[in-house]
Amino acid sequence: MPAPLNIEQLYRTHGRSVRRRARAILGNDAEANEVLQDVFASLVSQPAQLDGVRSPTAFLYGATTHRCLNLIRNSKNRLRLLQENTTVDERDDTKNPETRSVAKSVLASLDETSAKAAVYYYVDEMSHAEIATMLDCSRRHVGNLLQRVAASVDRSEPASC
Amino acid sequence: MLNENPAAPRSEDCLSDLQLDELQVGELKGEDLDAATSHLETCARCQVRRDELAADEEALPPLQLPGGPSEAPAPTPIRRGDRRLGVIVVGILAAAAVVFFILRRPPAPRPGDGSKAPLIAATRLKGGASIGAYVQREGRVEAWAAGDPLHSGDALSFTYSTDIDQTLGVFLVQDRTIEILHQDDGKTAFVRRGRDIELGLAIELDADDAHEVAVAVFCLDPTPTKVLRLSLAVDPSAKKLPPGCGATALSLRRTP
């Protein structure tokens, strides 16, 4: 039987990746820290979430994505996102501002599964196989989800020559 | 496919951030570990990305569990959807509260009343801050102090006292399950200086005999209640509260 996870240690070893991804998805330090605290507060309150988890990193990726999407879906936050300039946060690990724009404006309009697929694909640059594992679905379904996301991106992009 | 150009696009064989993170914390095993390390040896793009991820040394906010989680009491899982709260939050009983407090004006809460509560070992309260409560039972309203009898069906209405303007958040703690009872837009709510001020928060005790504690956190400035909830979750003695914040508590243990 694996040793029980020490959540304090988990925070030290994984907290930065949680915060990094939250920043990349939300583009906002304060909200990223809020997500960081939420994710680990949830683990303190419900440590059983980690029972049987093979990769705490993957679990935290999922938990972080879920909370970030909840924040984005918040109507107040969505309004802010729509009005916000897509200025580059220097500490944002998402290297391409276009990627961040996708992650911020398109996510709010997608269903949850598609939004998660978009985060994993555009922000984390996961392969279809990895996304399939994260979402517990087939690679084919991932392809369909990403097509849906791409169509949404196409609709959101201004026409260009 | 080898990738000798760090600026080149990610190939199918390149490692994702997830894999790089797993590698960094030692979660990749067996064939996955072998494949990842082999690829890293030859892929400049992935080496750069690995170094980027590892370069994040920005300090995290402190998060320390007293004695380590393995020594801590087993937390009670939160099932927000069906969790049966030991108390039922009545909320801001606008009309009812008026009746409640017209019946009897509260005497001044005694600073330190909350010190009898087991969770809060030390407080750093500013401005002589304290909380008090009144209990409504069988149609009567009486002043209530920590240690006084409590029964299921009692309704408690909270008051606060402070000599300075500051902010206040109230939490209900049961084991490590923590509910936010009083806040303003996600932060501690402004409270004006005064004594025995009605908080506009009332709760009704149900038949649950679990030990619950109402924790009041006073902060000089508005502070996110989620931060405070996390602080209380990782350290029930409230020693990890942010600077400028202090806590006091009232035990809501039912009298047998």
Residues A58-76: tens digit of each pLDDT: 999 999 999 988 888 765 5
- ipTM of this complex prediction, to 2 decimal places: 0.76
Identity of the amino acid at B105: R
Residue B88: pLDDT band (50, 70, 90) is very low
d(CA A2, CA A16): 24
Identity of the amino acid at A64: T
| Contact between residue B226 and residue A30 where contact means Cβ atoms under 8 Å apart | no
Q: What is the mean pLDDT of residues A10-22?
A: 91
pLDDT of residue A156: 58
Say which of A36, A41, A55 has its CB closest to residue B22.
A55
Please judge whether B61 and A127 are an interchain contact, meaning their C-beta atoms are less than 8 angstroms apart.
no
Residue of A nearest to B56 (CA): A16
The token pair that represents B135 in the structure block: 């209990």
pLDDT of residue A73: 74
Q: What is the mean pLDDT of residues A39-63?
A: 87
pLDDT of residue B124: 61
pTM for the full model?
A: 0.48
* Residues in chain A closer than 8 A to B19 (CB atoms): 130
B144 closest CA partner among B170, B181, B116: B116
Asked if the model's pLDDT at residue A161 lies above 90, the reply is no
| 3-state SS, residue A15 | helix
pLDDT of residue B107: 39
If one compares B75 and B224, the residue with the highest pLDDT of the two is B224
d(CA B7, CA B41): 16
* Residues in chain A closer than 8 A to B177 (CB atoms): 45
Please judge whether A37 and B178 are an interchain contact, meaning their C-beta atoms are less than 8 angstroms apart.
no
Asked if the model's pLDDT at residue B120 lies above 80, the reply is no
pLDDT of residue B106: 38
Q: Residue A51 CA to chain centroid, in angstroms?
A: 22
Q: What is the pLDDT of residues B28-58, one digit of tens each?
A: 888 989 999 999 888 988 998 888 888 877 7
Asked if the model's pLDDT at residue B215 lies above 50, the reply is yes
d(CA A117, CA A52): 23
Residue B121: pLDDT band (50, 70, 90) is very low
pLDDT of residue B18: 92
| 3-state SS, residue B93 | coil
Q: Does A1 touch chain B (CB under 8 A)?
A: no
pLDDT of residue A57: 94
Q: What is the pLDDT of residues B148-201, one digit of tens each?
A: 888 888 888 888 888 888 999 998 887 667 888 888 888 899 988 888 888 888
Q: Does A17 touch chain B (CB under 8 A)?
A: yes
The token pair that represents B175 in the structure block: 């084991």
Of A88-92, B90-94, B133-137, B214-218, where does the model show the most confidence?
A: B214-218
Q: What is the pLDDT of residues B98-114, one digit of tens each?
A: 333 333 333 333 443 33
Q: Does A55 touch chain B (CB under 8 A)?
A: yes
Length of chain B: 256
- What percentage of residues in chain A have a pLDDT greater than 70? 71
* Residues in chain A closer than 8 A to B234 (CB atoms): 8, 44
pLDDT of residue B179: 85
Q: How many CB atoms lie within 10 A of CB A144?
A: 14
Q: What is the mean pLDDT of residues A82-107?
A: 49
Residue A132: pLDDT band (50, 70, 90) is very high
Please judge whether A44 and B56 are an interchain contact, meaning their C-beta atoms are less than 8 angstroms apart.
no
pLDDT of residue B6: 55
* Residues in chain B closer than 8 A to A29 (CB atoms): none
Residue of A nearest to B71 (CA): A6
Q: Does A141 touch chain B (CB under 8 A)?
A: no
